Structure 1
């Protein structure tokens, strides 16, 4: 059996997307906590102007009246309630917009939530792994059948994190309300007021909202985020500033690169000129040294004549002495021509003397004409054995 280990091109991108999807809930929670912590330092009016108060208009039924309350965030995650007004329940159900005549426009436009009493539903506290916090609602949705006497299709539910433990566990709470009870409570508000609800929360034993939203997503009214305009403006300014900064950085880098290139070319020309002058000077000095050493290593004509006068016998007459390159040629008449080669051999100024051609007798003078050639002993200059620049001298006999 063969196994195909080929990875599809989209596998890497899918993994990245899944990693971002897992990290996003935690990041979103951190940003929300950070924003709430910053907003808690601002006065209430300032928070209201910038939409940082996260205030809600809560509707709860008390006997035959509808009580209107507003959340006042004292600390992040611990809102307080302030009752605003009480309306007869029958009067509220028939009006189109009962809030407009009682509340200021700013409060009337707050997100409206129906607050159910604590006895309306069930709450179950569970311990779960910390990884479950990323998809807490989906995880606890599978626990409804085991933790409550209801089926999952017969209730509306939500979940919240109560606390985190040091052993990698979290304390979570499952809040369940029967579908029929929630629908009846929303229907009792009337079609006009029920359609304006952004969520349904449930109160705890002390009457404070739990912070869950039991209303189905399809029935929630989406209100314009008061911070959206500020966020768009700030993002636009940030993008413009970032673009301008990047453009300025790019322009500065280009200018610096052009200046550096110009300076580099100028210095390269100077360096090339100095190198050429140095090479010319070195070549001239080495040439003069080579000529001097060559001249010093070769016997002069005077030395050759002096050596000949010392070695040749008295009955020898020279007609011509020629020094060409490393060769010396001697032409003359001698009565001892046959022995001249042996007489010249001990000299240190030349080597390998030999007769060139046959001896020619001169009857008029009674002598033999001879022609002798020899190789001058030349001391090679030191510069002649120097290796080319950048190479090392090889030992003799090396290939």
Structure 2
């Protein structure tokens, strides 16, 4: 792939396209400005109006050059000071940039054909053509160049405008103090209209104060403040959204913790209920224990207390055969290991023995032995 540096024709095409784009933007700007009323363009400094000063013998001719052409303003005697000129001009005309307009025939004009790349630095390129196009050197003339047109192949049809330095300096000297207020020097064509060049060197041009510069700085400051305020507002909105999102996350986290706690409580209740149900299912009920006791204990035995604490069965009562109760309690499927707790105490009032009998409740009901097996076990 060739680069513009390796291919001169490609480089020339790129430069031609870039220059064409600049011309299009300039044309587009002029087209947009044409829709703005002339009065507004003058007020906002968008119009290219200028005040032309030209010598007519011993008098100074004042003309205003605007979009409608040249308009005669006044004809004043020379010499004239800048303060006197400001007093004659109106407020609006006094603020216009001042140009010296040289008479027709005072400038040498030469047409030249230059490549499109010369448009970027037209004045520097034309400087090297002065020796060949005029009988003067570049140091002895004041010169400028203008583009007259563009050909189909991209080349520029330009015109060199040069004025001998002696004539140029004499024209400036004829203005006296007014020469220091000039921003440019132009030359007239055969019809008396300006050529549209600036022969005044850049170091001699007066920098005019833009009356709207203060407003421009104020508007620029307001724009910067508005931009900063807008960015700050965006940042503040982002911060508010982040804080709201964090608060929402915290609220959801609290809700999640509450739900988790409630769920754990529910799980604990379910597990506890299941454990109690399982424990209740594994142990005999109180009714079953009382029924079993009523069937195994003899009729002359009286119970004072029957207590069930966990897997522990405690029986307190009176019986004439307290020592034989252990044997009667054995072999039940509801408890195991029955035994007397403590000594048997005779009761003189009832003439019965007071006993305390303990046993361990069975975890799971044992299957009842078959009747035939029980009879077989009792047969010698």
Q: Please indicate, yes or no, whether the TM-score normalized by the shorter chain is above 0.5.
A: yes
Cα gap change, 1:133 to 1:272, in 2 (>3 Å) = farther
Post-superposition offset of 1:211: 1.9
Cα gap change, 1:245 to 1:34, in 2 (>3 Å) = farther
Partner of 1:93, secondary structure, is coil
Aligned residue in 2 for 1:115: 101
Aligned residue in 1 for 2:282: none
Aligned residue in 2 for 1:156: 142
Cα distance in 1 for partners of 2:199, 2:81 equals: 25
Cα distance in 2 for partners of 1:30, 1:241 equals: 33
Cα gap change, 1:133 to 1:267, in 2 (>3 Å) = farther
Cα gap change, 1:64 to 1:258, in 2 (>3 Å) = same
**Superposition pairs for residues 254-293 of structure 1, below 5 Å?**
254-264=239-249
Cα gap change, 1:254 to 1:26, in 2 (>3 Å) = farther
Post-superposition offset of 1:82: 0.3
1:234-286: CA deviation from partner (whole Å, max 9, x where unpaired):
212211111111111111122223333444566678789999989xx9xxxxx
Q: Is the 8 A contact 2:80 2:178 kept in 1?
A: no
Cα distance in 2 for partners of 1:30, 1:96 equals: 40
**Superposition pairs for residues 7-156 of structure 1, below 5 Å?**
36-74=30-68, 80-87=69-76, 91-93=77-79, 95=81, 97-156=83-142
Aligned residue in 1 for 2:301: none
1:361-393: CA deviation from partner (whole Å, max 9, x where unpaired):
xxxxxxxxxxxxxxxxxxxxxxxxxxxxxxxxx
Cα distance in 1 for partners of 2:253, 2:152 equals: 66
Cα gap change, 1:130 to 1:189, in 2 (>3 Å) = same
Count matched residues.
251
**Superposition pairs for residues 237-256 of structure 1, below 5 Å?**
237-256=222-241
Q: Is the 8 A contact 1:187 1:194 kept in 2?
A: yes
Structure 1 stretches lacking a partner, 5+ long: 1-23, 75-79, 282-399
Partner of 1:206, secondary structure, is coil
Post-superposition offset of 1:60: 1.4
Post-superposition offset of 1:217: 2.1
Cα gap change, 1:102 to 1:254, in 2 (>3 Å) = same
Aligned residue in 1 for 2:297: none
Post-superposition offset of 1:64: 4.3
Post-superposition offset of 1:53: 2.3
Q: Is the 8 A contact 1:50 1:226 kept in 2?
A: no
Partner of 1:131, secondary structure, is helix
Cα distance in 1 for partners of 2:120, 2:254 equals: 65
Cα gap change, 1:105 to 1:140, in 2 (>3 Å) = same
Partner of 2:88, secondary structure, is coil
1:331-377: CA deviation from partner (whole Å, max 9, x where unpaired):
xxxxxxxxxxxxxxxxxxxxxxxxxxxxxxxxxxxxxxxxxxxxxxx
Task: Say yes or no: does 1:177 pair with 2:163.
Answer: yes
Structure 2 stretches lacking a partner, 5+ long: 1-17, 268-380
Cα gap change, 1:204 to 1:269, in 2 (>3 Å) = farther
Bigger radius of gyration among the two: 2
Cα distance in 2 for partners of 1:237, 1:273 equals: 53
**Superposition pairs for residues 228-239 of structure 1, below 5 Å?**
228-239=213-224
1:39-85: CA deviation from partner (whole Å, max 9, x where unpaired):
433333333322222221101123443211001224xxxxx110111
Cα distance in 1 for partners of 2:143, 2:57 equals: 25
